[in-house]
Amino acid sequence: MQASYQTHSNVLTNNTKNIFPRSINPDGKIRYVQARDWTSGFYPGMLWLTYDLTKDSQWKHNARLYTEKLENEKLNNRDHDLGFKIMCSYGNGLRITANPAYKDIIIQSAKTLISRFDKKVGCIKSWDHHQEKWQFPVIIDNLMNLELLFTASKLSDDPIYYQVAVSHANKTLANHMREDGSCFHVVDYHPTSGQVMQKCTHQGYADNSSWARGQAWALYGFTMIYRETQDSKFLKQAEKTAQFILNHPSLAKDIIPLWDLDVPQNANEPKDASAAAIIASALYELGSYSKKNRRFYYQKANDIIDSLSSQTYFPDNTYQKGFLLQHSTGHKPKNSEINTPLIYADYYYLEALNRKNNLNDK
């Protein structure tokens, strides 16, 4: 991680809004993005997590610098990604420093996020784009942003954030999830009646296939929702999704999934290390709630981390340019960020390492 900060730190001093590393472009240059990008919170989050792992104060200092560049996002109501941005940065920062200013930013961000909630639908609208394709799209990724609402409800003693989060979680459980434990990527609702209009994909292989990172979001999301609600139906769904993923016939021995679990298998289909990192982190938490499958989940999480920590996925070479993991897939149908490092893969890898360390301490 030393190389990671040295690689990216000089960007803060440049006269540019693009300061947050996201991936590596095909030309070999680092792709930096603005605060409004959905991935902007992951790098400051990585710095907080690295401080967790090392207790070296330089990481805390640098985490503050990058985190506070995101403050204006607390008012950005254009999409649902405030949870990713704010919880990875300010959420980790509050946990580590107890800075009261961070608390206020989290609450304001949650207030902004619920402005996208519609009572008739019972969900937070995910996207405003592609209006020719859908009217009120809700994506499985949106489960991850509910943690912001649960946190804000506890910090503010205001139940509205909790209520919105639970409503969204219930609707997702009812309409996104399939009988086998897998999930659709996008569910489009009618904005007036609240009825489901279509179930489809945007980043997966096909509407009825199992986009790997989508399955990871579902596993992680329902595990987190169970933590916050203690409602057993969410734990049951998380375990069902875990079994679907871990028993899928396309999953290789290294447990790093192809970008879509149901894509026709051939040598040219890329894997997605980001999905694997999310799954590993989720399994460490899920294992702490499941007496029956605890050892199984912990072992699978350990196996994934072992694979991601190997030379195949975590090479010791300069190509990485400060990133940790190779072989992630961002948006295969769009031919975007294919077989490349991705900042959120690194974030969930570090989070998984922290969770593993905490289990070892216990």
Q: Does 116 belong to an annotated binding site? A: no
Q: So which residues are the catalytic ones? A: 81, 141
**Which burial class, exposed, middle or buried, applies to 259 when counting CB atoms under 10 A from its CB (0-12, 13-18, 19+)?**
buried
Q: Does 172 belong to an annotated binding site? A: no
Q: Does 217 belong to an annotated binding site? A: yes
3-state secondary structure of 55: coil
As a whole number of angstroms, the distance between CA 46 and CA 349 comes to 9
As a whole number of angstroms, the distance between CA 202 and CA 184 comes to 10
Q: How far is CA 135 from CA 78, 138, 146, 190, in A?
A: 15, 10, 21, 6
Residue 231: other Cβ atoms inside 10 A: 14
Phi, psi of 283 (to 5 degrees): -65, -35
Tokens of 153: 């409800």
Q: How far is CA 26 from CA 41, 45, 243, 296, in A?
A: 23, 25, 36, 38
The β-bridge partners of 352 are none
Q: Does 141 belong to an annotated binding site? A: yes
Start-to-end C-alpha separation, the chain? 25
Tally: H helices and E strands in the chain: 13, 7
192 Cβ contact partners less than 8 Å away, ≥ 6 residues apart? 120
Q: Does 213 belong to an annotated binding site? A: yes
From the annotation, which residues make up the binding site?
81, 141, 201, 213, 217
From the annotation, which residues make up the binding site for substrate?
81, 141, 201, 213, 217
